[in-house]
């Protein structure tokens, strides 16, 4: 193949690459950025072929300069760590939740359905509670939400301080959320089981309070952090389902490659869901047991649910989110 034929065949693609680079150098978050890696690979092949065939120095130089521009754009850091962290929570996390709304709805159904079912079943037959909760769990529930000692005093006797209580909730709740996300790689089965299991356990605890405890004390305690804790668990479960879907339906990719791509898509949900659970632990450790009036706690709890729903529904819509590959 002569240099003229080689240039004639490939120059439209080189010109397309130049136009794309010009556009991305002005707006690197454009959805068109997904085309660049493929064009860069073809450009590398063209450059290697031009050198092998000893085409003119000017052609090789032009191709090399174009390759350098592509490489610089592909390896460029997208802002500081602070800006990337801010973009995660202002755009990537809520946009990913909206894009995966079907799996999010499935996660919510798998979690809240068994929870509501256990509460309802416990009202008719308390043996449902006793089949799930052991003596230690019921003793803890009696201490926190029984009709005797105040919740705050019981927790301080148990943990020693609000900060120690905060640390316990972080360890327990964030660990559950991360296990739920990671278990999705077992072809979805792990995440499905974890969502339903946690729903059953929490429903049994709630049913036990209705059976033997002080419901006002219980709802006043959990209302402030419930939105972020339960929402974070559902979102981490959604991340697990994304990973499991890649294992079940890898498409044209190998399963390891499909799992790696799904991990990138699920990562904003893992970060965002874990942060919600972490924030819920902060509220639970320092606010939930406070002596504030129950009505105040209920109002704050309702406001938190509304705030979380509005955030997931509307945050980041003014910016262009990267489409799912």
Q: Is there a single domain that holds both residue 31 and residue 112?
A: no
pLDDT of residue 312: 95
Q: Is there a single domain that holds both residue 281 and residue 309?
A: yes
Q: What is the dihedral of CA 40, 44, 46, 49, to 10 degrees?
A: -170
Instruction: For residue 160, tell me if it sits in a domain.
Output: yes
Q: Is there a single domain that holds both residue 188 and residue 264?
A: yes
Q: Is there a single domain that holds both residue 155 and residue 227?
A: yes
Q: Is there a single domain that holds both residue 70 and residue 110?
A: no
Q: Is there a single domain that holds both residue 136 and residue 262?
A: yes
Q: Is there a single domain that holds both residue 9 and residue 101?
A: no
Instruction: For residue 324, tell me if it sits in a domain.
Output: no
Instruction: For residue 320, tell me if it sits in a domain.
Output: no
Instruction: For residue 130, tell me if it sits in a domain.
Output: yes
Domain count, the chain: 2
Instruction: For residue 319, tell me if it sits in a domain.
Output: no
pLDDT values of the chain reduced to their tens digit, one per residue, 325 residues: 788 888 989 999 999 888 888 888 777 667 777 788 888 899 999 999 988 888 998 898 889 888 888 888 887 755 556 777 888 898 899 999 999 999 999 999 999 999 999 999 988 898 999 999 988 888 888 888 877 666 666 666 666 666 677 777 788 888 888 888 888 788 788 889 999 999 999 999 999 999 988 889 899 999 999 999 999 999 999 999 999 999 898 887 788 888 888 888 999 999 999 999 999 989 988 888 888 899 999 999 999 999 999 999 999 886 444 444 4
Q: Is there a single domain that holds both residue 96 and residue 70?
A: no
pLDDT of residue 65: 87
Report how far apart, in Å, the C-alpha atoms of 264 and of each of 258, 279, 322, 324 are: 10, 23, 12, 10
Q: Is there a single domain that holds both residue 109 and residue 167?
A: yes
pLDDT of residue 79: 58
Q: Is there a single domain that holds both residue 207 and residue 152?
A: yes
Three-state DSSP string of the chain:
CCHHHHHHHHHHHHHHHHHHHHHHHHCCCCHHHHHHHHHHHHHHHHHHHHHHCCCCHHHHHHHHHHHHHHHHHHCCCCCCHHHHHHHHHHHHHHHHHHHCHHHHHHHHHHHHHHHHHHHHHHHHCCHHHHCCCCHHHHHHHHHHHCCCCCHHHHHHHHHCCHHHHHHHHHHHHHHHHHHHHHHHHCCCHHHHHHHHHHHHHHHHHHHHHHHHCCHHHHHHHHHHHHHHHHHHHHHHHHHHHHHHHHHHCCCCCCHHHHHHHHHHHHHHHHHHHHHHHHHHHHHHHHCCCCCCCHHHHHHHHHHHHHHHHHHHHHCCCCCCCCCCC
Domain extent for 170: 82-314
- Among the candidates 74, 104, 130, a domain finishes at 74
- Among the candidates 74, 101, 134, a domain finishes at 74
Instruction: For residue 148, tell me if it sits in a domain.
Output: yes
Contacts of 102 (CB under 8 A, 6+ apart): none
Instruction: For residue 325, tell me if it sits in a domain.
Output: no
- Among the candidates 49, 74, 99, a domain finishes at 74
Q: Is there a single domain that holds both residue 132 and residue 21?
A: no
Q: Is there a single domain that holds both residue 295 and residue 236?
A: yes
pLDDT of residue 320: 42
Instruction: For residue 151, tell me if it sits in a domain.
Output: yes
């Amino acid at each position: 193949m002569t240099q003229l034929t080689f240039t004639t065949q490939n120059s439209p693609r080189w010109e397309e690459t130049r136009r794309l680079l010009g556009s991305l150098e002005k707006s690197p978050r454009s959805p068109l950025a997904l085309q660049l890696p493929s064009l860069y690979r073809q450009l590398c092949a063209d450059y290697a072929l031009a050198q092998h065939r000893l085409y003119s120095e000017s052609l090789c130089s032009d191709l090399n300069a174009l390759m350098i521009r592509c490489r610089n754009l592909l390896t460029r850091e997208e802002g500081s760590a602070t800006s990337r962290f801010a973009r995660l929570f202002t755009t990537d996390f809520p946009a990913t939740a909206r894009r995966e709304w079907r799996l999010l709805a499935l996660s919510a159904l798998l979690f809240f359905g068994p929870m509501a079912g256990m509460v309802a079943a416990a009202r008719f037959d308390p043996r449902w509670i006793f089949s799930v909760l052991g003596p230690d769990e019921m003793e803890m529930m009696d201490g926190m939400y029984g009709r005797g000692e105040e919740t705050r005093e019981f927790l301080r006797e148990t943990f020693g301080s609000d900060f120690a209580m905060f640390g316990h909730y972080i360890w327990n709740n964030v660990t559950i959320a991360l296990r739920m996300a990671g278990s999705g790689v077992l072809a979805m089965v792990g995440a499905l089981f974890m969502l339903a299991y946690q729903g059953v356990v929490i429903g049994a605890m709630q049913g036990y309070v209705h059976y033997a405890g002080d419901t006002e004390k219980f709802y006043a305690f959990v209302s402030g952090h419930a939105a972020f804790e339960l929402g974070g668990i559902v979102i981490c479960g959604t991340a697990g389902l994304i990973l499991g879907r890649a294992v079940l339906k890898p498409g044209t990719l190998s399963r390891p490659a499909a799992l790696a791509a799904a991990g990138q898509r699920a990562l904003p949900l893992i970060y965002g869901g874990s942060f919600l659970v972490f924030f819920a632990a902060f509220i639970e450790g320092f606010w939930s047991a406070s002596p504030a009036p129950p009505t105040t706690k209920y109002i704050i709890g309702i406001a938190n649910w509304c705030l979380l729903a509005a955030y997931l529904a509307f945050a980041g819509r003014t910016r262009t989110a990267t489409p799912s590959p």
